[in-house]
Amino acid sequence: MARRSAVTWNALIKGYAQAGRRDEALALFRCMRRQDGVAPDKYTFPALLSGIGRNRSGGCVQELGAAVHAQVVKSGLDKDPFVGASLLSMYAATGALEDVKAVFDDMDTLDPVVWSSMISAYVNCKEEEAALLTFYKMLCQDITPRQFVYSSLFAICGSMSMLEMGRQVHAHSLKNITDNDAAMTNALLTMYSDCGCIDDAWRVFDSNDIVDVISYNSMILALGQHAHPKEAVELFKRMKFSGLIPDEVTLLNLLSAFNHAGLVHEGLHLFNSMLDIEGIKPTYQHYACVIDMLARSGEIEESMKTIKEMPFEAETPLWRIVLGACSKHGDIETGMKIAEMLFEKEPYEPTNYILLGNIYARLGRWTETENIRSLMEKSGIDGDDAFSWIEMGQRTHRFGVDDRAHPISEEIYRNLDRLMGSIKAAGYVPDTSFATHSTGKNRREESLRYHCEKLAFAFGDLASPSGDTLRIMKNLRVCGDCHSAYKYFSLVTGRKIVLRDNHRFHHFYKGACSCRDYW
DNA sequence: TTAGGGTTAG
């Protein structure tokens, strides 16, 4: 071009930035600054900054972002709402929350997008409560939220399982949003699923007139997590029939639906035909899912073979999955080998010790279990404490193991003792192989009695009308004994119980669980 | 004819 104006440069920078080619966008920015008569303007920086947020690989991203920020200040554009919003999200993408706040506090704008950026910045940085507070502040400024804001809020409510809050935000959105938006609706669907309400998730999906690939992916994932593999397959067929093309995530979610249900044959069939039928090359995650599926179903040898044959190097989380399966199936030999390798690679990862300890505990080899425990203690390695929580009215009630901190703790323990009596009469037998203490049988039984998920149930049963569904969350995987107790709880109380652990959902009803005891 | 914020996986 004979003459390049600022518009020319801006358009070109934006093109590279959006394509994820950050360094070329930056190089163009430098060229632009060298041309006489042309200066970066309020269009230049949003394009450039979004490119930095998008591509964080290589180079010192923190310094890079700060350098561009300096250019913004030099250009006198730091009060511009467009530039400000993109600065916010750039810093949020690099995890620099303090810088995010500084930029926000420095802006004297009531621009809705700046608020929206601030809320999602908090979400990105895992500051969910701060995000909610920012939402309230925004409402106080009489700013009407748009779809973007609701998407972020739904994601928060889902990840924290705040069903009541989620319903309120949903109602709020119905008042303020008239036109449907795919991303917001997809976030809503996932919120209901994450809160344990698969029926509500279905309702959102079915009433959504803008359905895209992500809608299908989200719904297929939800169905898998809630143990409805057949419906996931049906939806997959419907998706293809509607003309939408499945992507990597679609197939990963479908595989994981098979995995959750223990449908190894179906899972393998899908995995082996991915490339030929769907035209999608398996990624590391597809392999990881299949290896998990094989190992969990007891095909440990086959899973080890797949690890060796796959075109990727197995990372430690995948080895941990197989180690967990060895514990479940009592394959001590393979388990030991994997554990040794993991100890070498990650001497301070508590899960590795706990899993090996579980292998010994399940085999009743309490001396070895105790050895591992004291080794952890000596080395100052500590696993995550287990806790469970339940929403009741406007409050969340949280319980640890043997926790007596709740204001009505005594009543809760009394109710739990009563419940334990009823379920024992109904046939429940404590499964002490899940106890990790090397003491006598009675002590082991006692150590299981006040697990956090049992306390949370005893509280929920006490605090809600009989017949109400109870939704309980746990930060770790549900323990086998509690799983068994929950089945009996649903039987003797007549309640439906939805338990979300860190892996999936369990729906208990009339003495059975939707996972059919496979998890 | 150039600009900012959101959604799904492990």
What residue is closest to B9 (Cα–C1')? A249
Q: What is the overall mean pLDDT for chain A? A: 90
| Over residues A4-13, mean pLDDT | 93
Residues with Cβ within 8 Å of residue A182, at least 6 apart in sequence: A208, A210, A211, A212, A214, A215
Residue A288 lies in a domain: no
Tokens of A157: 């409510």
Residue A43 lies in a domain: yes
Please answer whether residues A48 and A77 qualify as being in contact, where contact means their C-beta atoms are separated by less than 8 angstroms: no
| Over residues A271-291, mean pLDDT | 93
Nucleotide nearest to A249 (CA to C1'): B9
Residue A244 lies in a domain: no
Residues with Cβ within 8 Å of residue A517, at least 6 apart in sequence: A483
- Helices marked H in A107-208 — which ranges? 112-124, 128-140, 147-159, 163-176, 182-194, 198-207
What pLDDT is stored for residue A407 in this prediction?
95
A123 CB less than 7 Å from any atom of strand B: yes
Distance CA A343, CA A179 (A): 54
Which one of A170-179, A203-212, A349-358, A405-414 scores highest in mean pLDDT? A405-414
* Final residue before a domain boundary, out of A121, A138, A172: A121
* Final residue before a domain boundary, out of A121, A145, A180: A121
Distance CA A488, CA A217 (A): 34
The model's pLDDT over A433-448, given as tens digits with 9 standing for 90+, comes to 666 554 555 556 667 7
Say which residue the tokens 């360094």 belong to.
A23
Residue A397 lies in a domain: yes
What pLDDT is stored for residue A418 in this prediction?
96
A94 CB less than 7 Å from any atom of strand B: no
Distance CA A312, CA A307 (A): 8
Tokens of A372: 């591992």
Residue A416 lies in a domain: yes
pTM metric for this prediction: 0.90
What pLDDT is stored for residue A139 in this prediction?
92
Q: A395-400 and A470-474 as β-strands: parallel, antiparallel, unpaired? A: unpaired
Tokens of A314: 């197995």
Residues with Cβ within 8 Å of residue A119, at least 6 apart in sequence: A131, A134, A135, A138, A149, A152, A153
Residue A2 banded pLDDT, cuts 50, 70, 90: confident
| Over residues A306-333, mean pLDDT | 91
Residue percentage of chain A with pLDDT more than 90: 67
Residue A308 lies in a domain: no
Nucleotide nearest to A186 (CA to C1'): B7
| Over residues A333-341, mean pLDDT | 91
A86 CB less than 7 Å from any atom of strand B: yes
| A:187-206 Cβ neighbours of strand B under 7 Å | 187, 190
Looking from the CA of A378 toward its CB, the CA atoms found within 13 Å total 8
A412 CB less than 7 Å from any atom of strand B: no
User: Pick the residue with more confidence: A282 or A358?
Assistant: A282
Nucleotide nearest to A89 (CA to C1'): B5
Output the distance from A6 CA to B6 C1' rounded to whole Å. Answer: 29
Domain extent for A452: 387-513
What residue is closest to B10 (Cα–C1')? A285
Residue percentage of chain A with pLDDT more than 70: 97
pLDDT at A116 over 50: yes
Chain B positions within 7 A of any protein Cβ atom are 1-10
Q: Phi/psi at A211 (nearest 5 deg)?
A: -110, 125
Length of chain A, in residues:
519
Output the distance from A341 CA to B1 C1' rounded to whole Å. Answer: 60
What pLDDT is stored for residue A465 in this prediction?
95
Please answer whether residues A39 and A5 qualify as being in contact, where contact means their C-beta atoms are separated by less than 8 angstroms: no
Q: A497-500 and A470-474 as β-strands: parallel, antiparallel, unpaired? A: parallel
Total domains in the fold of chain A: 2
* Final residue before a domain boundary, out of A80, A105, A121: A121
Output the distance from A191 CA to B7 C1' rounded to whole Å. Answer: 11
Nucleotide nearest to A84 (CA to C1'): B4
Residue A341 lies in a domain: no
| A:219-258 Cβ neighbours of strand B under 7 Å | 221, 225, 249, 252-253, 256
pLDDT at A181 over 60: yes
Q: Phi/psi at A512 (nearest 5 deg)?
A: -130, 160
pLDDT at A44 over 50: yes
Residues with Cβ within 8 Å of residue A353, at least 6 apart in sequence: A372, A375, A376, A381, A383
Among the listed ranges A48-62, A193-207, A240-254, A259-273, which one has the minimum average pLDDT value?
A48-62
Tokens of A369: 């279990």
| A:287-306 Cβ neighbours of strand B under 7 Å | 289
A310 CB less than 7 Å from any atom of strand B: no
Residue A371 banded pLDDT, cuts 50, 70, 90: confident
Among the listed ranges A43-47, A131-135, A221-225, A329-333, which one has the minimum average pLDDT value?
A329-333
Among A159, A231, A244, A180, smallest CA distance to A202 is for: A231
What pLDDT is stored for residue A440 in this prediction?
55
User: Pick the residue with more confidence: A95 or A495?
Assistant: A495
Nucleotide nearest to A115 (CA to C1'): B5
DSSP letter string, A80-132? -HHHHHHHHHHHHHTT-HHHHHHHHHH-----HHHHHHHHHHHHHTT-HHHHH
Say which residue the tokens 């469970």 belong to.
A388
pLDDT at A352 over 60: yes
Residue A86 lies in a domain: yes
Distance CA A300, CA A450 (A): 33
What pLDDT is stored for residue A108 in this prediction?
77
Please answer whether residues A451 and A481 qualify as being in contact, where contact means their C-beta atoms are separated by less than 8 angstroms: yes
Among A103, A71, A75, smallest CA distance to A87 is for: A103
| A:14-43 Cβ neighbours of strand B under 7 Å | 14, 41-43
Nucleotide nearest to A121 (CA to C1'): B5
Cα A380 to the chain's mean position, in Å? 28
pLDDT at A503 over 60: yes
CB neighbour burial string for A450-475, b if at least 16 within 10 angstroms, e if fewer: bbbbbbbbbbbbbbeeeeeebbbbbe
What residue is closest to B6 (Cα–C1')? A148
Residue A271 banded pLDDT, cuts 50, 70, 90: very high
User: Pick the residue with more confidence: A388 or A377?
Assistant: A388
Tokens of A275: 């490339």
Among the listed ranges A306-310, A434-438, A496-500, which one has the minimum average pLDDT value?
A434-438
- Helices marked H in A262-365 — which ranges? 264-273, 284-296, 300-309, 316-329, 332-345, 350-362
What pLDDT is stored for residue A467 in this prediction?
93
